[in-house]
Amino acid sequence: MPPEPEAEPTRITMTFAGDCTLGTEESFDYESSFTGVYDAQGPDYFFANVKSLFEQDDLTVVNCEGVLTDSTSREDKEYAYKGDPAYADIFARSSIEAASVSNNHIYDYGWNSRGDTINALTEAGVSAFGDEIVAYREAKGVKIALIGANMLSLGLGIQDSMTANIRAAQDAGAQIIVVFMHWGTMREYDPTDDQIKLAHAAVDAGATIVVGSHQHVLQGYETYNGRSIVYGLGNFCYGGSRTLGDPDCYIFQQTFTMGEDGVELDAAAEVIPCLISSDSERNNYQPAIAEGADKTRIEGKIAESSTGIAGRG
């Protein structure tokens, strides 16, 4: 008898997008705000241009930038972002399975608004993770750990807790360990030295991939010890601004091949340039895959930042 054909290796495709603010700042005009657009268009509008991409992968992960709560106790800050708890279903209906809650807007409506957000996401079937919460998902029999950390207040001081979470995920049997960082300097296209140090420390501790956002602009990516580090995905579905600002962002998609000893190195990656809005004149809160001159421009910005990162290695 001919020998049995070798089984195909298991491959896990994960998709990452940046800051998603499913809500608005109370000072914004209602009609042009995320809330106004939701009331006019419904929940399936926002990710309509990318949903098919998200549906084809094994796991899609974003950052939930803001709170989903009924609280009226707004924090005394310039911008506080709030959406109805029902908005969590926007993620679920768009094949977004997990969201980090580790960021500088997760307490915008008081101490309990973080818990409200986690509850809303969980009830919608979306895995919430960040800081002390490590979430676990399974795809094709592979256990995936999701870790989130906010570098903005403590800087490199979060390294010990981040490393402890990575170790805990290893002990729990996770074969793929994702670290989603909130970090960097606002509107800076290049990561700081501390971002690079922390990202390298995460990989050294056992992270399979490190991704990040916060800067409101994109930053490049690198491969370090065979693992991808994405320093800045940019805004994505961003209710935090009615105007475009810098509309450029990207989706990072990686396919991991499982070997006998875990995830093989140098996984196949795809960078997908995007815009935060499908309207070139204003933010309509409907991100779109970039084409033509927009695609070329975004690719150039990613390449320039990535080249600078490589030169600092």
Query: What are the pLDDT digits (tens) for 85-105?
Result: 999 999 999 999 999 999 999
- The counts of H helices and E strands in the chain are 7, 18
Task: Please report the pLDDT score of residue 153 as a whole number.
Answer: 86
DSSP class of residue 25 equals E
Q: How far apart are the first and last CA of the chain?
A: 53
Q: Given the DSSP bridges, would you call strands 67-68 and 288-289 parallel, antiparallel or unpaired?
A: unpaired
Produce one character per residue of 244-259: b if its CB has 16 or more CB atoms within 10 Å, e if not.
Answer: beebbbbbbbbebebe
Confidence of residue 267 (pLDDT cuts 50, 70, 90): confident
How much of the chain exceeds pLDDT 90, in percent? Answer: 92
Q: Report the C-alpha gap between 134 and 169 in whole angstroms.
A: 8
113 within 8 A of 106, measured Cβ to Cβ = yes
Residue 55 buriedness (CB in 10 A; 0-12 / 13-18 / 19+): exposed
Name residues whose C-beta falls within 8 Å of residue 66's C-beta, 6 or more positions apart in sequence.
21, 22, 23, 81, 82, 83, 105, 106, 108, 239, 240
CA distances from 311 to 15, 220, 265, 292, 307 (A): 27, 12, 22, 29, 6
Phi/psi of residue 57, nearest 5 degrees: -95, -175
Q: What is the mean pLDDT of residues 226-240?
A: 97
Mean pLDDT of 180-208: 97
Identity of the residue numbered 148 = G
**Tokens of residue 15, six digits:** 């998709």
- Tokens at residue 100, please? 């980090």
Both structure tokens of 122: 């969980």
Task: Please give the pLDDT value at position 268.
Answer: 82
Statement: residue 79 has pLDDT above 80: yes
When the pLDDT of each residue in the chain is averaged and rounded to a whole number, the result is 96
- Pairing relationship of beta strands 262-263 and 248-259 according to DSSP bridges: antiparallel
Query: Using H for helix, E for strand and C for coil, what is the string for 118-178?
Result: HHHHHHCCCEEEECCECEEEEECCEEEEEEEEECCCCHHHHHHHHHHHHHHHHHCCCCEEE
Q: Evaluate if pTM is beyond 0.85.
A: yes
Q: Count the neighbouring beta carbons within 10 Å of the beta carbon of residue 200.
A: 18
pLDDT at 313 over 70: no
**Mean pLDDT, range 275-285, rounded to an integer:** 97
Does the pLDDT value for residue 9 go beyond 70? Answer: yes
> Which tokens is 180 given?
């989603």
Under a CB-based contact definition with an 8 Å cutoff, are residues 67 and 103 in contact? no
Any idea how long the chain is? 313
Domain edges within the chain: 11-129+221-312
Residue pLDDT, tens place only, 141-163: 999 999 999 999 899 999 999 99
Tokens (6 digits) for 274:
């995007």
pLDDT for 158 equals 98
Which of helix, strand or coil describes residue 63?
strand
Give the mean pLDDT of 10-22. 97
Alpha carbon distance 213, 277 (integer Å): 18
Q: Give the pLDDT score at 2.
A: 59
Q: Taking residues 4-10, report their average pLDDT.
A: 74
Interval 201-221 mean pLDDT: 98
